[in-house]
Structure 1
Amino acid sequence: MQPELCKNCHEVHQGNFCNHCGQKTKTARLDWHYIKDEANYTFLHFNKGFLYTVRELFTRPGDTIREFLEGKRVRHYKPLLLVFVLAGLNGLIASQVNMKEALTQMDFGNGMNKAQQAAFMNEYLKCVKWFFGHWSLIEVLALPLVSFASWLSFKKWGYNFIENIIINCFAAGQRLVFSIFSSAIYLIFPSSFMSKFSVFASLITFGLTIWTYADLYKHKEGSAVMLRIALFIFLLFVIALLLLVIFSIIFVIYLKKTGKI
């Protein structure tokens, strides 16, 4: 086989791929054959990577994550990309849910007249829609905080901070799949059903996280695992509470400055 010049990096190479940049040697003119090959690759990559990873996360989450960390990765969808795709899909479906009708069942009337209640409701609804519209960004920004909590809780058992980010990418992907299912339920059933089902959905989501971590560390002593899971949940609660307080203060300051309350 004669040496060839790579059309991408202009380095001399032999074989089907450039050993400098990885581009294919054969780069024929773009035509319908190219579109067919790309479509086949995209579908197979989605089917064999994405769907395989989702299935594994709901059948053997701890083993799947452990194997990925140990190097068994070729069949899996990339963890961070998994979060982006699922969070975007979840945000898209959730944005179609009639949040206004559901929120009207909540009591925001402490010390407010009707006009203030209406203004508060409109601004609150805008915030909720913004969160769902940027859910991919929120999930990614939350990863370092969640991973710090898990790293601190399970630090003794060897996984570093970056590995904890990967662990929580998979855990987030698992929760997001269930969240997509929940959002679809909200679209089908009336909003009065939302408040009842949301409690059940929250418990399931909570349970999925516990199951994932318990399965990941199932080779450790059971009491030690549960103790560290309890610490992890406590740290998550503290982080969530701090973020809620910060967000609430910013939201109230915004409402006061704009004369909404």
Structure 2
Amino acid sequence: MSHSPNCLNCEVQITGKFCSNCGQKTDTHRITFKHFIFHDILHGVWHFEKGILFTLKEAMLRPGKAALDYIEGKRIRYYNVFYLILLLIGLGIFIENVYINSLHKYHSFIPDDQSDEVNNPVYDFLGKYVKFFLALAIPAFSLNSFILFNKKKLFYSEHLIIFGMMYLGIIMITLVGNLMYFFEFIEPVAFLSYFADLIMPFLLIIYLAFGFYGAFGNDYKKWNFALRLFIYLTLIIVELKLLGFILKTILLNQ
């Protein structure tokens, strides 16, 4: 542990547990293997009250309110939302690659009316990278809320934070759905994969409504909020259709 009167990071004189200039802790340890594993990795990343798990929990249970907390300055406990989105997108792409490869490997289990779809390069590409392209659409989705839910007079960049937090929850919900698709290869429980396909859109709509109500529900009368939410969801569907059309056009013309 460091006993220097000055911060080891910026060399400003220190008087408490944290440097008043850069915020680094004053009880700096030598990086032993034990400290690296149990503090820097397990504690620093997975600590439930500060880090990845805390941010994931907030994104699932109170996304709108958590985003507002972050915007208002309560940020120290949160992992960077957009870094976390990239990590989960990578995990989602891996899971979807495994699933699609499994479909090809076990193509004899696929009904004839679905075989062409599975062997379609457009289907493969969109199945693998759809979350990445949806992340590129975050600016458009955030612009929708900036226009429709503007009573708080938040900046456009702050609406990016709000939808970023909710997109984090969307990815987690879809990851669970993606894992359920593997039940397709287990005959007694194959119905669960079709159930996931059926219920996923409803779960996502409910989650978005829940998240936006947490962020903006107190700003509008219920009928006004419901109307704005309906317009918002309609815009998202139109934008997703447009994005899908553009991607398919690009891929088919290559």
Q: TM-score, normalised by structure 1?
A: 0.74
Match for residue 69 of structure 1?
Answer: 71
Matched, 1:141 2:104: no
Give the Å deviation of 1:159.
2.1
Match for residue 234 of structure 1?
Answer: 234
- 1:1-261 alignment runs, 5 A limit: 3-4=5-6, 8=9, 11-15=11-15, 19-23=20-24, 29-35=30-36, 36-45=38-47, 48-97=50-99, 98-100=102-104, 101=107, 105-106=113-114, 121-128=119-126, 130-131=128-129, 135=131, 137-190=132-185, 193=191, 194-219=193-218, 220-254=220-254
What value does the CA root-mean-square deviation take over the aligned residues? Answer: 3.3
**What SS does the aligned partner of 1:75 have?**
coil
Name the CA distance, whole Å, in 2 between partners of 1:131 and 1:26.
44
Amino acid at match of 1:230: F
Q: Contact between 1:99 and 1:125, CA under 8 Å: does it hold in 2?
A: no
Amino acid at match of 1:150: S
**What SS does the aligned partner of 1:37 have?**
helix
Cα 1:146–1:25 change in 2 (3 A) is same
Q: TM-score, normalised by structure 2?
A: 0.76
1:224-243 C-alpha deviation (Å, 9 max, x unpaired): 10111112112212211221
Name the CA distance, whole Å, in 2 between partners of 1:124 and 1:87.
19
Q: Contact between 2:149 and 2:228, CA under 8 Å: does it hold in 1?
A: yes
Amino acid at match of 2:52: F
Give the Å deviation of 1:131.
1.0
Name the CA distance, whole Å, in 2 between partners of 1:196 and 1:28.
51
Cα 1:72–1:160 change in 2 (3 A) is same
Q: Contact between 1:50 and 1:82, CA under 8 Å: does it hold in 2?
A: yes
Can you give the 5+ residue segments of structure 1 that lack an aligned partner in the other structure? Answer: 109-116, 255-261
Q: Share of identical aligned residues, percent?
A: 24
Give the Å deviation of 1:19.
4.8
The answer to which of 166-175 and 123-132 deviates more is: 123-132
Cα 1:103–1:131 change in 2 (3 A) is farther
Give the Å deviation of 1:147.
0.7
1:235-257 C-alpha deviation (Å, 9 max, x unpaired): 21221122122122212212xxx
Name the CA distance, whole Å, in 2 between partners of 1:235 and 1:179.
20
Q: Contact between 2:45 and 2:52, CA under 8 Å: does it hold in 1?
A: no
1:41-99 C-alpha deviation (Å, 9 max, x unpaired): 33553564333333334433333333333333333333223322332222222322135
Q: Contact between 1:171 and 1:212, CA under 8 Å: does it hold in 2?
A: yes
Cα 1:65–1:29 change in 2 (3 A) is closer
Give the Å deviation of 1:40.
4.3
Amino acid at match of 2:40: E
The structure 1 segments of at least 4 consecutive aligned residues displaced by more than 6 Å after TM superposition are none
Name the CA distance, whole Å, in 1 between partners of 2:111 and 2:159.
35
Q: Contact between 1:96 and 1:187, CA under 8 Å: does it hold in 2?
A: no
Amino acid at match of 1:226: A
Can you give the 5+ residue segments of structure 2 that lack an aligned partner in the other structure? Answer: none
Amino acid at match of 1:148: L
Name the CA distance, whole Å, in 1 between partners of 2:182 and 2:142.
32
Give the Å deviation of 1:209.
0.9
Cα 1:26–1:197 change in 2 (3 A) is closer
1:137-189 C-alpha deviation (Å, 9 max, x unpaired): 43432211211122122134422211111111111111111111111111233
Higher relative contact order (CA 8 A, sep 6+): 1
Cα 1:222–1:73 change in 2 (3 A) is same
